[in-house]
Amino acid sequence: MTEPLVEIKNLRTHFFTDEGVVKAVEDVSLTIPRGKTLGLVGESGCGKSVTALSIIRLISPPGKIVSGSIAFYDDGRKIELTTLPEAEMRKMRGSRIAMIFQEPMTSLNPVFTVGSQIAEAVRLHHRVSSREAWDRAVEMLHKVRIPDAQRRASEYPHHFSGGMRQRVMIAMALSCNPKLLIADEPSTALDVTIQAQVLDLLRDLQTEFGMSILIITHDLGVIAEMADDVCVMYASKVVEYAPVVELFTNPLHPYTRGLFASRPEPGKPKDQKLRTIPGVVPSPLRFPSGCKFHPRCAYAQERCKKEEPVLRRPNLSQIPPSHVVHCHFAEQIEEQEEAAVKSV
Amino acid sequence: MLQYLVRRMLWGLLTLLLITFVIYGLIRFMPGDPALLKLYQESSDKKITAEQIEQQRKMYGLDQPFYIAYVKWLGDVLTGNLQTSFAYKAPVSSVIGERIGRTLMLTINSLILEYLLAIPLGLYFTARSSRLDERSGSMLLFMLYSLPSFCGALFLQLWFAVYLEWLPLHGMQSDNYEQLSTLGKTWDLFKHALLPVAAFTYGGLAYYSRFLKATMNETVRQDYIRTARAKGIGPLKVLCWHAFRNSLIPLVTQIGLTLPALLSGAIILERIFSWPGIGTLFFQSILERDYPIIMGLVLMFSILTLLGQLLADVLYAFVDPRVSYK
Amino acid sequence: MTVQAPAPTPTAAAPATRPLLQVTNLKKHFPIRRGVFQRVVGHVRAVDDVSFHINPGETLGLVGESGCGKTTVGRTLLRLIEPTAGEIAFEGRDVRALSGGQLRQLRRDMQIVFQDPYGSLNPRMTIRAIVEEGLIIHGLGNRKERLEKVIDTLEDVGLDPTYINRYPHEFSGGQRQRICVARALALNPKFMVLDEPISALDVSIQSQIINLFTELRRKHNLTYLFISHDLSVVEYISDRVAVMYLGELVETGTSRELYHHAIHPYTKALLSSVPKMTPGKKPERIVLPGDVPSPSRPPPGCRFHPRCPLAIDICKVESPRETIVDGHMFRCHVMEQQLKSPASKK
Amino acid sequence: MVALVTIVLLFLVALCSPAIVGTKPIVCNYKGNLYFPCLGYFNPKWENPIFIKDKFRGVYPRSLKQKDAESWAVWPLVYQDPYRRVKADEWHGVPSSREMLDNPVQNHGKPSAHNFFGTTPYGVDVFAGMVHGTRIAVLVGFVSMGIASFIGITIGALAGYFRGWIDVVLSRLIEVVMCIPTLVLILALISVIAEPTVWHLMAIIGVTSWTSIARLTRAEFLKLREMDYVAAARALGASHVRIIFIHVLRNALAPVLVPISFGVAAAILIESALSFLGFGAPPPNPSWGNLLHLGQDHILGKMWWLVLFPGLGIFLTVLCYNLVGEGLQEATDPRLRQAGK
Amino acid sequence: SSQPPTTTTTTQATEVKQPTLQTFDPPPLEKLLADHQWIERPVVDSLKLRREFEKDKKPLVSVAEALAMKNDSDKANEKIVGTLGLLPKDDSAVDFDASIVRRLQQEPKSLNPILTSSMSETEINNLTAFGLFSFDWQLNPFASWDTVKSWKASDDNLVDIVVMRDDLTWSDGKPITAHDVVYSFQTIMDPNIDVPAQRSGTDKIRWVHAYDNHTVAFFHKEPLVTNVWNVNFAVIPKHVYEPHRRSDPKLERDLDIDKQVVGGAYGFASRTRGQELVLQRRESYYRHNGKQVRDKPYFQEIRFKIMPDPNTSMLELQRGGIAEAELSPGQWQEQTNDAGFYQHNTKVRGSEWTFFYFGWNFNTPYFSDLKVRQAMSYAFHHDEMLKVHCYGLFEPCTGIFHPESWMMASQPKRPPQKQDLDKAEDLLDAAGWEFDPSLGVRAKTIGGKKVPFKFTMLVRNSADRVAICELLKQNLQSIGVEVSIAALETATLQQRLQSKQFEANFGGWGTGADPDTSENIWGSNQERNWGGYSNPKVDQLFADGRKENDRQKRGAIYAEIDRLTYDDQVYTFLYYQPSLYAFSKDMRGYMFSPRGPFHYGPGFSAIWQAAQ
Ligand SMILES: Nc1ncnc2c1ncn2[C@@H]1O[C@H](COP(=O)(O)OP(=O)(O)OP(=O)(O)O)[C@@H](O)[C@H]1O
Ligand SMILES: Nc1ncnc2c1ncn2[C@@H]1O[C@H](COP(=O)(O)OP(=O)(O)OP(=O)(O)O)[C@@H](O)[C@H]1O
Ligand SMILES: [Mg+2]
Ligand SMILES: [Mg+2]
């Protein structure tokens, strides 16, 4: 296996709020391979964004990376991001690691032209004249398929539609050839047809620029389309981690299973009720003891209430080694399920 | 834009008409009569007769109902004549013209000062959010904000003019003003203006820096600030360039809205500092029922207020590309 | 397959029973006002000439991109927004002609559930007050009866009635959506507009709510207009589906028909844009170029033509008619010609 | 929080002022009956006329003993009067538990054991004046803001809820009132009234300071009327009145409280500024503004206590209201609250 | 209605008579002179008068001692005034190059002497305006030696002939002539010109005629003693105002400061509106054709600083920034006792005939009754007021004329009023105002209706005055009468008084130069008689007083008026307010008249700065 681009080990990020400590990310480990895409899925509030922001170190004050390491492998050098001085980190941002956000409507500064916002990023990391930076901005706009880029570069964000703004965001993120692009729900706020445009664009640009992408979404379809590896999070924890095809064919964690099963699928019989995951997502201030999923888990047992499982390879023959799961009873559940399928 | 301006002006004129009419009615309904007042200003030395009173009232046009007098006033104003003051033997425009500069000297300077000081302070407090210095500084500003300006002015006077004798207590010029060189005159004016400007400024300063801090606090939470930081921009630049440009929008609109408030604040402060500006004039004219002067000043205040609002909107369009009046 | 001329009434496609709701040529144009004089400088044609019907007990799905006018349709049905033109007949009564008391009566029968469960509950009212409000307005029952009804309804939507005196902020999104449903349900309506009721919810919660709707439909024999942009959910829940584009209905049909034999190029593109749950396979999709045009200045002719892969000259000038093929309605010049020409028949 | 406690304290002081300082017994037994003469400070009518009839001449301690040896009385904590100069001989005939002196006059009335905050040049106790003045401070803030809120909320609500031409007309009204310099308006209105009382003053302050409330209410209404829960209420068949009062107003109220509480501070300031110009609470009301005005007249007489105590009173009260306003602002602004550390 | 009911209560209001001039053909001078017996009238050099007055006065202390002294008693005051108030022994003692800075309370509105209406303007006109007449510190009128050669009156008191000096020039060099006097008279009488105050007085004159450049005759309508006051009006330059009035017939606009032409001792140098006004000594005033013809005014320059705020003027005094300022009693007692004040200044006082009172409206059910008015006077705690509110500085007032005035010279002094609550209550009871426990106040049944004794006291909104009303309120409250106090600004107060819509008021009257002017206050239906007091005897006495030539007899008439009004208790008389002044230690020559230190002849002209 080649050297990964980013390796996160046991990351803990907490928010020290008045009501208590919000453990937004607990003991998360993952790797982002070079030139590949890692998908991050999970319920709202499970810590996806915080994980991403921890990588780029943009956690704002009450929040803090408490422990863990984030290693960034740059041209053979290993850079530890958690301890990197702020000035150094700033150099990383934009040039090595870029990020785009969910809300294209509010993520661009309304009082500056689109071109200048891109050019600003370019000038920050490259010693170029403002003319050259501008040209680069126009070129990037062109690359993200904005028609009439030359003219539109000097327009303000409010002149752009949502999809176009998201493309501008992508242009800005990619303007300095980053090694890693973090896309935090890049298409959730967009319409289906526009989402298709943006996803297509991202894929094309990935082949062109060869960067790695960390894509965050809660749409399994997007994951299926974009990701090479998938990491499923639930309540600040990684609950399952596998290559995409593997995960879609063999979901092991009861939460992942539930997620797949609760989607209405084309062709599913209509008169049948959807399968649901009962209950609600726990508040990060009051996580249940033991396995955090146990109150909603159909297979929960006494042990689940007391003992927190570890992320491990399940002891199942057909599962490849890259598939890990965070469940005491992954094997048993698999057996039960198979039995159920057979019995139907 | 032009069309917009014209439309705004039309509305403004209508508002002006309404305001002046209301005020005209109001001051005419105020008991107290300039004619009587004039007659009684002299001590009992001179006898007064009913004819005299009547004649005096006629001379001031008080024998007509107020709406007719208002129409007459309006007609005069439309021909550019603000009428002649009852008390001052001079046209209203020249009485006001003579003093407006002095008031503006205080208010404009304090406005500039407020902004000049409030902006760095506000930025500083945003940057140092919830540290000790920010908290104590904010508290201090808050206390200043709650200190009535007339109390503040008294304390300033007592301390700097009476105890320390560093600065002149009141007035606008020294006795020897005429003999001074241009530089000396400026210096003299400066010394006289320092205390009143300070008294004018501190409240506004506190208000604006708190205002800026509040809007900045809101702005820095916006998504685009996160975007800017994700680009690798340093915190100072993010604050002063990206966040400030956006906070400027509400701040700028405040300029237009506070301009008239500064003038009405002048009434008390000018009295304390014996500053011969329009605040003093206004108060005096009300007491003397000098209707033409009151109306002239009201007209001016209202025009300023309306212009201020217009200015606020225009500035808004200027600093915020999202707004355009087409 | 037979091709019919545009029919003024969809009786041909409708079952013999009278439709519960019949919408004909509905229009809603929002005036765009500018300046201090509030002069009308243009119109947003949010809904432009929309006709459809819903049979009792049926669920009609309404899909389309953001801003195409789905919400506006839903709200005009209840006269939360006054329509500009068109007819709405509910159980044969002309909804637009109702006033005062009659309108209030109508609102007992028609209810609405909104997209955002956070914004649609008054934060200062208890759950009880919220659910009870409709009963109070309509003067139904005394205090005790009302309380019973509230408790019943809450149980109906799967909420613990002991929560009755809590405030909305003490509930999660899914629970709030249940409260919204309870509020609507308390009046025993016949018809409900569900305006994107699940899109603000977490993935794992969505299925709970969908199940709730199907269950309630069965239990209370409800009729739904289900608005959503989640195509798979619409397919699951609806009997028939209508596709909207820029204020117009471009295609209507039973959900089977529509999902498997879409006729309109927009519907096709829409369906193909949905990311498939099949990893590894390169999706074959029709990526539409450009953005949805503004409804204040819709393109002339067929509104879809600037983005349409099939567009021909006539699309730029003439608006396509409603064409109904086996109860499957669409508006498209190209497909109309194709289906008419016998060569295309297999 | 401290601010809130202070304000509550202020209310208490205002309510109990005659029991804290006064020259009329809180309760006394006179000729076999129980009386509460101290209520006379709230309203002269509530002081039993028997005391005038029996020629008490406003002096209780001496008269009580003289006219009825059996009488007893419970006295306020401090024997001083906010309206008049207290003399040493008032205690005549009463066992001298407290050594009394004539209140000093002119600039001799430094704060002392008898006069905690000194006396005015006319020998009236400043502490008594301040304590009884709290009533006006509290009232001015509340009554005037009550009126202002009523007008402001009504106009703002109508404009914001109904929009259209109602909004155009009302917005213009707001603009007109905003453009009129407040002081002119207040001075004009004060002089129109034949005998201005402190109530008139409050009303006038209220009538002139509703614009900010109206503007905010209007904005809130414009925003809230678009909320889904309003649409839901309409879908249930609710009337305009019901929607305005139950749905919109209730939610608009919290943000509208912010300008109101700042307004209370402003009203107190306006009152003291008016007193400063000689148009404040009419005599003999011991308002803080009047005391400060007196202090300003005598500032060079080194009567610092006349500036310091009322000035401090005004400053602290204004500060407290501002702090409460600030707190409300934070509490009603979800963004700020979210970030509130 | 838009018209405040100002004039509705006056009977003559309906027909408005314009005081226009009836044309009058003066007889030729020779005929005039021949037709009458002529009585020479005094032409006085006021400074000389002062010198004579001081001639046999010995200063009680030396100047140095006086300067070092604190004015903390009547004795000290006498010593200081008696020493520093003297005129210079000779001109070498005077610093003629001195510039004096004076305080003006208000901005002067107009510099035109005939438009004078406020104190500030009077102050300035005393120095700059040209006039033929003046009066001394005992209020004796005379023609001014500075401007008049001779003055004689006809035996029937209907004509005055004045011969002006021929060495008079306006500040622009043109001679001042009798025609200017005539022109001024006619201007004042022009009904279109806003000079109401000036006109009262001149309207008693039938005509003014200039027989030549220097001889001017005043023809009176009636043979009154008070005619000597009526001729005393300011004179303006005809050659300046005649052209000016062509563009500004109503004199609505003042001349610019550099266009002002004056005939007085000082001329205008510069003016900054709202700040200061500078006067300069006129060479052409005291020198004519290279010869000194009049006393040289003592100051080279007079700067008036406009300082409305008493605190700032106090601070300026302490700084040595101004050379004189009037003091409030508070300032006198509290702010001028320390070394800081005495470093540059000293202070002096003299009694002034300005008295204060509670006035009662006779047209109310309460005060129409003498007993009630008396009760009010008994109820009020005069001693407390004198001690506390008057700072122990003021004399009690006991009647409408000052006991030291010539009118009262023959009368015994009345004892001051004392508080007597029992008597007050008895009087009220006797008047039918008995205590009503159900109302909590006294009440009386009038016309079948029970009227509670509650009234409102109007007072100007100054703290000192209000405090005195509060004292009355306390006093009356204790005997079951309720008073509310309405503290009003001047304009409103004036209006309320004028329209007689009040029950009681607190006010004060300054003294007129002649007692006749107070007819306006006590005569029936007179404009300033707000309380509506009406006593035919008093009216008659005023009419007689005007015509009585003999001073002593005249005095007796006014003493009788004083007695009548006192017996009627028209007012509750309170106190006389003295003149209190601070002067720089360099200033000398101040002397108090019943109208303060400046407003008489020589007044300010006698003040000089000691040479260093
Ligand atoms: N600034 C903050 N202060 C306090 N808590 C925070 C803050 N930011 C995030 N959190 C908490 O951290 C947890 C994880 O948040 P995060 O934004 O990572 O969720 P997410 O998985 O991205 O959800 P979504 O899908 O809604 O974006 C949440 O419970 C959130 O409440
Ligand atoms: N009150 C209004 N005034 C003016 N225009 C409006 C108003 N309400 C909606 N519109 C416009 O009408 C069009 C249709 O809006 P509508 O809310 O019905 O769309 P939608 O299909 O529900 O979109 P979404 O999926 O975003 O909810 C939009 O362009 C919108 O901007
Ligand atoms: Mg997120
Ligand atoms: Mg919608």
Confidence bin at E183 (pLDDT 50/70/90): very high
CATH number of B105-276: 1.10.3720.10
Q: Which position has the higher pLDDT, E239 or A83?
A: E239
Instruction: State yes or no: pLDDT of E475 exceeds 60.
Output: yes
When scoring D226, D229, D257 by the number of chain C Cβ atoms within 10 A, the one with the most, hence best to mutate, is: D229
In a domain? residue A285: yes
User: Does the CB of B15 have a partner CB in chain C at under 8 Å?
Assistant: no
**Model confidence pLDDT, tens digit, residues B239-257:** 888 888 888 777 777 776 6
Mutate to test the pocket of ligand 2, among C26, C34, C38, C44 (most ligand atoms within 8 A of CB): C44
In a domain? residue A15: yes
pLDDT value at residue E612? 78
In a domain? residue D318: yes
Same domain, A123 and A197: yes
Domain count along chain D? 1
In a domain? residue D8: no
Contact B158 D272 (CB under 8 A): no
In a domain? residue A128: yes
pLDDT value at residue D99? 58
**Model confidence pLDDT, tens digit, residues E487-535:** 888 888 888 888 888 999 999 888 777 888 888 889 998 888 889 999 9
- Give the list of residues 6+ apart from residue A77 with CB closer than 8 angstroms, or none: none
Rounded average pLDDT over E333-361: 90
In a domain? residue D89: no
Instruction: State yes or no: pLDDT of E7 exceeds 50.
Output: no
- Give the list of residues 6+ apart from residue C230 with CB closer than 8 angstroms, or none: C198, C199
Same domain, A152 and A70: yes
Domain count along chain A? 2
Same domain, A200 and A265: no
What does each C-alpha distance from C35 to B6, B326, C40 come to in angstroms? 11, 9, 9
pLDDT value at residue C342? 58
Contact D323 B142 (CB under 8 A): yes
Q: Which residue in chain B is spatially nearest to C38 when comparing CA positions?
A: B7
When scoring B1, B7, B324 by the number of chain C Cβ atoms within 10 A, the one with the most, hence best to mutate, is: B7
Same domain, A23 and A117: yes
Rounded average pLDDT over E272-278: 83
pLDDT value at residue D300? 74
Q: Which position has the higher pLDDT, D182 or E285?
A: E285
Instruction: State yes or no: pLDDT of D2 exceeds 80.
Output: no
Other C-beta atoms lying within 10 Å of the C-beta of residue E72: 11
Contact C279 A273 (CB under 8 A): no
C119 vs D227, D233, D238: nearest CB: D227
User: A116 vs chain C: nearest CA distance in angstroms?
Assistant: 24
For ligand 3, a single-atom ion, the residues with CB < 5 A are: A 49
C touches E, CB cut-off 8 Å, minimum 3 pairs: no
Rounded average pLDDT over A229-243: 89
**Model confidence pLDDT, tens digit, residues D53-64:** 877 887 887 788
> How large a percentage of chain E has pLDDT more than 70?
97
User: C42 vs chain B: nearest CA distance in angstroms?
Assistant: 14
**Model confidence pLDDT, tens digit, residues B244-293:** 888 877 777 777 667 666 666 777 888 777 788 888 888 888 888 888 99
When scoring C30, C122, C126 by the number of chain D Cβ atoms within 10 A, the one with the most, hence best to mutate, is: C122
Same domain, A74 and A157: yes
Instruction: State yes or no: pLDDT of D178 exceeds 90.
Output: no
Interface of D with B in 193-232 (CB under 8 A): 194
User: C155 vs chain D: nearest CA distance in angstroms?
Assistant: 20
Same domain, A297 and A154: no
> Residue D290's domain is classified under what CATH number?
1.10.3720.10
Contact B4 C37 (CB under 8 A): no
In a domain? residue D29: no
| Tokens 């001052």, residue located | B88
**Is A237 close to ligand 1, i.e. is its CB under 6 Å away?**
no
Confidence bin at D100 (pLDDT 50/70/90): low
Contacts of C235 in chain A (CB under 8 A): 264, 266
Report how far residue D126's alpha carbon sits from residue D80's, in angstroms, rounded to the nearest whole number.
9
Instruction: State yes or no: pLDDT of E581 exceeds 90.
Output: yes
Q: Say if residues B258 and B250 touch (Cβ distance below 8 Å).
A: no
Rounded average pLDDT over B130-151: 82
Rounded average pLDDT over A308-323: 82
**Model confidence pLDDT, tens digit, residues B212-231:** 888 888 888 788 888 888 88
Q: Output the DSSP codes for D50-116.
A: HHHHTT-TT-HHHHHHHH-TT-EEEPPSB---SSSB--GGGGTTS--SS---PPP-GGG----SSST
> How large a percentage of chain A has pLDDT more than 70?
97
**Model confidence pLDDT, tens digit, residues D103-136:** 888 778 888 877 888 888 888 888 888 888 888 8
- Give the list of residues 6+ apart from residue D249 with CB closer than 8 angstroms, or none: D153, D157
Other C-beta atoms lying within 10 Å of the C-beta of residue A297: 22
When scoring B226, B227, B323 by the number of chain A Cβ atoms within 10 A, the one with the most, hence best to mutate, is: B227
pLDDT value at residue E3? 34
Residue C195 CA, ligand 4 centroid: distance in Å: 7
pLDDT value at residue E9? 33
User: Does the CB of C108 have a partner CB in chain D at under 8 Å?
Assistant: yes
Instruction: State yes or no: pLDDT of E215 exceeds 90.
Output: yes
Instruction: State yes or no: pLDDT of B45 exceeds 50.
Output: yes
Contact A61 D341 (CB under 8 A): yes
Residues spanned by the domain of D258: 128-340
In a domain? residue A245: no
Q: Say if residues B240 and B123 touch (Cβ distance below 8 Å).
A: yes
In a domain? residue D198: yes
Q: Which residues of chain C have pLDDT under 70?
A: 1-17, 34-39, 282-283, 341-346
Angle between helices B2-29 and D164-179 (to 10 degrees): 60
User: Does the CB of E426 have a partner CB in chain B at under 8 Å?
Assistant: no
User: Does the CB of B326 have a partner CB in chain A at under 8 Å?
Assistant: no
The size of the B-D interface in CB pairs under 8 A is: 102
In a domain? residue A216: yes
pLDDT value at residue E19? 52
pLDDT value at residue A269? 63
**Is A258 close to ligand 1, i.e. is its CB under 6 Å away?**
no
pLDDT value at residue E431? 92
Residues spanned by the domain of A337: 253-343
Q: Say if residues A168 and A157 touch (Cβ distance below 8 Å).
A: yes
Question: Which of A158-172, C2-16, D221-235, E388-402 is predicted with the least confidence, judged by mean pLDDT?
Answer: C2-16
Confidence bin at D232 (pLDDT 50/70/90): confident
Confidence bin at A271 (pLDDT 50/70/90): low
Contacts of A172 in chain B (CB under 8 A): 227, 231
Confidence bin at D171 (pLDDT 50/70/90): confident
Give the type of residue at C116.
Answer: D
User: D29 vs chain E: nearest CA distance in angstroms?
Assistant: 19
> By 3-state DSSP, what share of chain E in percent is helix, strand and coil, each rounded to 5?
35, 25, 40
Confidence bin at D208 (pLDDT 50/70/90): confident
Rounded average pLDDT over D199-213: 86
> Residue A76's domain is classified under what CATH number?
3.40.50.300
Same domain, A260 and A336: yes
Q: Output the DSSP codes for C236-301.
A: HH-SEEEEEETTEEEEEEEHHHHHHS--SHHHHHHHHHSPPS-TTSPP---PPPS-PPPTTSPPSS
Q: Which position has the higher pLDDT, E347 or C345?
A: E347
Per the DSSP assignment, residues forming a β-bridge with C90 are C21, C93
Contact B158 D187 (CB under 8 A): no
Domain regions of chain B by residue span: 105-276
Report how far residue B10's alpha carbon sits from residue B4's, in angstroms, rounded to the nearest whole number.
10
Instruction: State yes or no: pLDDT of E18 exceeds 70.
Output: no
A58 vs B226, B242, B246: nearest CB: B226
C274 vs A192, A275, A276: nearest CB: A192
Instruction: State yes or no: pLDDT of E10 exceeds 50.
Output: no
pLDDT value at residue B176? 66
Q: Say if residues E557 and E590 touch (Cβ distance below 8 Å).
A: no
In a domain? residue D87: no
Rounded average pLDDT over A269-278: 74
Report how far residue C294's alpha carbon sits from residue E575's, in angstroms, rounded to the nearest whole number.
86
**Model confidence pLDDT, tens digit, residues B286-324:** 888 888 998 888 888 888 878 877 877 777 777 777 665
Rounded average pLDDT over E407-434: 91
Q: What is the pTM of this model?
A: 0.79
In a domain? residue A313: yes
Question: Which of C88-97, D4-13, D186-195 is predicted with the least confidence, judged by mean pLDDT?
Answer: D186-195
Mutate to test the pocket of ligand 1, among A17, A48, A217 (most ligand atoms within 8 A of CB): A48
- Give the list of residues 6+ apart from residue B259 with CB closer than 8 angstroms, or none: B107, B111, B304, B305, B307, B308, B311
Q: Which class for C57: exposed (0-12), middle (13-18), buried (19 or more C-beta within 10 A)?
A: middle
User: B115 vs chain E: nearest CA distance in angstroms?
Assistant: 30
Q: Which position has the higher pLDDT, E309 or C209?
A: C209
Contact C229 A192 (CB under 8 A): yes
Instruction: State yes or no: pLDDT of D341 exceeds 50.
Output: no
pLDDT value at residue A106? 82
Confidence bin at E8 (pLDDT 50/70/90): very low
D229 vs C36, C38, C121: nearest CB: C121
